[in-house]
């Protein structure tokens, strides 16, 4: 089934690219999103079964793929608005749609991959697709961002490959090196601790570009600063989830050994450095998308810190990841509209958004309330659970330090939002140039309200998938 999906996706992408026709693009893209949703349903129906020897539909992969399917629907709509606002020719539009299809396919391949080399290949494919999407607006800063992202990610991925190779030394079976996650987990107890530690550190370092955390975060932050909003909605959600799943797979292997607490300490240190860097960087933030990128860094860092608390934090960490995907996707979609009003991503060029576009401003405000974990946001519930886990597991100093940093981050995000919503109208504002769509905030309201609802009343399907994922660690 999954190979069939890849085949159809590739054909659709090729048709869209070659024919460069808006009707073919619309039909092809819609068909792809429908197929992606179908793949999610199929994978859920066949939970825990293998699809070829390289792919498996386990609970975490199904959950991540479902999130991508959900986000692809509004991405389709917002990409269309992005074309109307920023893209001049049909060729650019079709190129964007074709690459987006390949990107979503590669992301699904990362989620479902049971073999860590195949996962590595898929991650490399996402890097290449993302590079072209970042550079879709062909001027200087996107080129700089695309180059930095491509180069740093490639170096990171090469480092991750070294980790995989070192893991291969510990995974020799009679048929040669077996790098399937289930086999690695089954032989984890017999592995040499030195090699396992080295492999874990190299893989975590290499994939940090995807996860948007220390050390390879810089290229990702720059890329998110200039990438088109629909691309950012995937970049800050599905791509982060891909990085998370890649590290989670190796963590499930190391979790079977006495090195578990060592790995948790590594995640704790990575998380603490990342959240500290995000806090420091927000002091001098001048662009909204960059602010959201550092906000993603903060949330992922918090997730890593929570995982370091062990079993008590797993559920909260995974639920936090899900909610973050909904909220960050919605925020980037809304920022597409903000940018359409002000023709700039700089904070200084914005103001009076509440007067100009009350519905959009309300969506933006709701998004900010959600992302800063102010009640009734679902993130408030998950963060409450996270800090409960941290305090109960004795991480008191860490929890207090993280709380302080999160308060600082919250202050900066809210103050910049107040500037957008209530500051005086910028002098260079041109009201005639605004292209607004009344339906645009709908997707954001749906995503934000979904998080509020799921925070108080998480659906059984979601909690079941998360609980089954936690069982992978036991």
Partner 1 sequence: MVIVLIVLFAATLVYFFLSERVSNFIWLLAIQGTLLFGIAFNNLIHIQLLGLIVILLETLIVKAIIIPWFLNRLRHQNQLKRVHESKVPVFYSLIIISAVLIGCFLMSYTINNEVIQLRFFTVALATVIGGMYFIIIHKNIFSHLVGFLIIENGAFLLSLAVGGEMPFLVSLAVLLDVLIAVLVIGVFMNKVKDTFDTISASKLSQLKD
Give me the residues that bind partner 1 (CB under 8 A), please: 115, 117-118, 120-121, 124-125, 127-128, 131, 135, 140-141, 143-148, 150-151, 154-155, 158-159, 161-162, 165-166, 168-170, 172, 176-177, 179, 192, 194-195, 222, 225-226, 281, 284-287, 290
170 near 195, Cβ under 8 Å?
yes
Q: What are phi and psi of 55, to 5 degrees?
A: -125, 145
CB-wise, 122 or 443, nearer to partner 1? 122
Min dist. Cβ of residue 190 to partner 1 (A): 12
CB-wise, 140 or 432, nearer to partner 1? 140
- % helix, strand, coil for the chain, step of 5: 80, 5, 20
Min dist. Cβ of residue 327 to partner 1 (A): 23
Question: Residue 343, by phi and psi: left (phi above 0), alpha (psi -120 to 50) or beta?
Answer: left
Min dist. Cβ of residue 127 to partner 1 (A): 7
The alpha-helical segments, DSSP class H, found in 227-259 are 229-235, 238-254
Min dist. Cβ of residue 52 to partner 1 (A): 10
Min dist. Cβ of residue 147 to partner 1 (A): 5
CB-wise, 226 or 390, nearer to partner 1? 226
CB-wise, 85 or 289, nearer to partner 1? 289
Closest CA to 105 of 91, 90, 89, 121: 121
37 near 14, Cβ under 8 Å?
no
427 near 330, Cβ under 8 Å?
no
Min dist. Cβ of residue 188 to partner 1 (A): 16
Min dist. Cβ of residue 456 to partner 1 (A): 37
Closest CA to 250 of 350, 161, 316, 368: 161
Min dist. Cβ of residue 221 to partner 1 (A): 9
CB-wise, 149 or 429, nearer to partner 1? 149
Q: What are phi and psi of 11, to 5 degrees?
A: -65, -45
CB-wise, 135 or 244, nearer to partner 1? 135
CB-wise, 195 or 262, nearer to partner 1? 195
CB-wise, 54 or 77, nearer to partner 1? 54
**Rounded Cα distance, 277 and 131, in Å:** 24
The terminus-to-terminus CA distance of the chain in angstroms comes to 29
Reduced to 3 states (helix: H, G, I; strand: E, B; else coil), residue 251 is helix
CB-wise, 115 or 337, nearer to partner 1? 115
Min dist. Cβ of residue 138 to partner 1 (A): 8
To which residue do tokens 């800050």 refer? 236
Q: Which residues pair with 346 in a beta bridge?
A: 287
48 near 57, Cβ under 8 Å?
yes
Q: What are phi and psi of 331, to 5 degrees?
A: -65, -40
**Rounded Cα distance, 120 and 246, in Å:** 8
CB-wise, 144 or 464, nearer to partner 1? 144
CB-wise, 222 or 298, nearer to partner 1? 222
The two tokens of residue 200 are: 């874990």
Min dist. Cβ of residue 274 to partner 1 (A): 18
DSSP 189-213: GGS-HHHHHHHHHHHHHHHHHHHT-
CB-wise, 264 or 281, nearer to partner 1? 281
- Residue 24's contacts (CB-CB under 8 Å, 6 or more residues apart) are 15, 16, 94
β-strands 176-177, 172-173: how paired?
antiparallel
347 near 416, Cβ under 8 Å?
yes
139 near 345, Cβ under 8 Å?
no
Min dist. Cβ of residue 139 to partner 1 (A): 8
Distances (CA, A) of 419 to 291, 334, 413: 13, 16, 10
Min dist. Cβ of residue 265 to partner 1 (A): 23
């Amino acid at each position: 089934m999954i190979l069939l999906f890849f085949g159809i996706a590739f054909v659709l992408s090729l048709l869209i690219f070659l024919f460069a026709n808006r009707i073919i693009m619309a039909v092809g893209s819609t068909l792809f999103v429908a197929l992606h949703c179908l793949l999610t349903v199929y994978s859920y129906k066949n939970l825990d079964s293998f699809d070829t020897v390289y792919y498996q539909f386990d609970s975490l992969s199904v959950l991540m793929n479902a999130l991508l399917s959900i986000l692809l629907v509004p991405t389709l709509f917002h990409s269309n608005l992005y074309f109307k606002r920023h893209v001049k020719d049909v060729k650019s539009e079709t190129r964007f749609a074709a690459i987006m299809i390949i990107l979503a396919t590669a992301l699904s391949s990362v989620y479902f991959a049971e073999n860590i080399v195949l996962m590595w290949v898929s991650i490399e494919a996402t890097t290449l697709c993302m590079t072209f999407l970042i550079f879709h607006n062909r001027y200087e800063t996107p080129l700089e961002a695309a180059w930095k992202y491509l180069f740093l990610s490639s170096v990171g991925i090469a480092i991750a490959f070294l980790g995989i190779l070192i893991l291969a030394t510990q995974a020799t079976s009679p048929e040669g090196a077996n790098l399937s996650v289930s086999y690695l987990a089954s032989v984890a107890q017999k592995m040499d601790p030195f090699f396992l530690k080295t492999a874990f550190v190299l893989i975590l370092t290499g994939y940090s570009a995807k996860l948007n955390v220390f050390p390879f975060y810089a290229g990702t932050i720059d890329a998110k600063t200039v990438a088109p909003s629909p691309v950012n909605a995937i970049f800050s959600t599905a791509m982060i989830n891909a990085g998370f799943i890649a590290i989670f797979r190796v963590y499930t292997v190391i979790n079977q050994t006495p090195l578990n607490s060592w790995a948790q300490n590594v995640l704790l240190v990575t998380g603490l450095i990342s959240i500290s860097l995000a806090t420091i960087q927000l002091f001098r933030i001048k662009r909204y998308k960059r602010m959201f990128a550092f906000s993603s860094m903060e949330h992922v860092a918090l997730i890593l810190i929570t995982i370091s608390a062990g079993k008590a934090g797993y559920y909260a960490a995974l639920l936090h990841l899900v909610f973050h995907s909904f909220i960050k996707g919605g925020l980037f979609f809304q920022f597409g509209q903000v940018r359409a009003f002000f023709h700039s991503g700089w904070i200084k060029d914005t103001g009076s958004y509440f007067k100009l576009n009350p519905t959009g401003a309300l969506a933006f405000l709701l998004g900010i309330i959600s992302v800063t974990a102010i009640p009734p946001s679902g993130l408030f519930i998950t963060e409450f659970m996270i800090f409960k886990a941290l305090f109960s597991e004795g991480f008191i100093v860490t929890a207090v330090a993280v709380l302080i940093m999160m308060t600082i981050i919250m202050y900066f995000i809210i103050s910049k939002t107040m500037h957008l919503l209530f500051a005086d109208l910028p002098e260079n504002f041109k009201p005639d140039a605004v292209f607004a769509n009344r339906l645009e905030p709908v997707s954001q309201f749906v995503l934000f309200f979904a998080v509020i609802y799921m925070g108080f009343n998480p659906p059984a399907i979601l909690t079941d998938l998360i609980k089954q994922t936690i069982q992978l660690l036991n």
